[in-house]
């Protein structure tokens, strides 16, 4: 745990989460871990725009269902840039489209420990 926190310090994490209150918590958790947050983005359009104007992030945590839209176009763009991905969803991994099902997921609600484990797994993958 402690080791993980150290390893994540300074990591730039791209966050897409359309629910402000949840995004606030995720932002808090990542700041506690010493990460810097890109976002949180609340929609696909904003996510694409922010991605275009930023250095490649060290990791990304993506809500799957963003304002009724599916996150996959953003996930594809990130995967093409080799960004380790974590999907956050209320459905668990069965809520992911077939081609993304082997990716790391955290199920809402998640704890700070869940985020640490998921980010480490995604970076190690």
Partner 1 sequence: MMTGLDFSQLFERLPSPHMVLDRELRFVAANAAYLAVTMRRWDELAGKHVFDMFPDPGENGRKLKASFERVLETGQPDTLAYLPYAIAVPENEGGGLAYRYWTAVHTPLPGPDGRTAYVVQNTVDVTDMVRAEEGATLPFGHIPEATSLIQRVLETAAMKDEAAREADEFRRLFQQAPSMIAVLSGPDHAITFANDALKRFLGGRDLMGTRVRDSLPDIAAQSFMDWLNQVYRSGTPVSGNGVPIRVERPGQPPGDYYVDFAFHPIFEKDGVVKGVFVQGMDRTRDVEAEQRQRILLDELNHRVKNTLATVQSIAKQTLKESESPAAARAAFEARILALSHAHDLLSRSSWAGADLKTILTRELRPYGTDRAEISGDPVRLTPRAAVALGMVVHELATNAAKHGALSNGEGRVSAAWRLETGEAGKTLNIDWREFGGPKVSPPAKRGFGSRLIRMSLEGELGGSTDLRFDPKGLTCHISIPIDESSRHDKI
Contacting positions for partner 1 (CB under 8 A) = 18-25, 28, 40-43, 65, 67-68, 89-91, 95, 107-110
CB 105 within 8 A of CB 84: no
Smallest separation (angstroms) from partner 1 to the CB of 87: 13
Nearer Cβ to partner 1, position 40 or 58? Answer: 40
Q: What is the DSSP letter of 58?
A: S
b/e for 24-35, b at 16 or more Cβ within 10 A?
Answer: eebbebbeebeb
CB 104 within 8 A of CB 122: yes
Nearer Cβ to partner 1, position 34 or 109? Answer: 109
- The kind and range of the H/E element at 122 are helix 112-124
Smallest separation (angstroms) from partner 1 to the CB of 65: 6
Smallest separation (angstroms) from partner 1 to the CB of 39: 9
Nearer Cβ to partner 1, position 4 or 65? Answer: 65
């Amino acid at each position: 745990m402690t080791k993980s926190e150290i390893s994540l310090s300074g990591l730039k994490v791209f966050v897409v989460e359309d629910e402000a209150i949840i995004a606030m918590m995720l932002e808090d958790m990542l700041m506690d871990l010493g990460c810097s947050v890109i976002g949180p983005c609340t929609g696909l359009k904003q996510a694409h725009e922010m991605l275009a104007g930023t250095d490649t992030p060290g990791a990304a945590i993506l809500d799957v269902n963003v304002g009724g839209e599916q996150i996959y176009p953003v996930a594809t763009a990130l995967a093409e840039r080799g960004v380790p991905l974590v999907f956050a969803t209320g459905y668990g991994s069965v809520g992911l489209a077939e081609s993304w099902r082997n990716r790391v997921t955290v199920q809402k609600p998640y704890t700070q420990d869940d985020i640490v484990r998921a980010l480490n797994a995604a970076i190690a993958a």
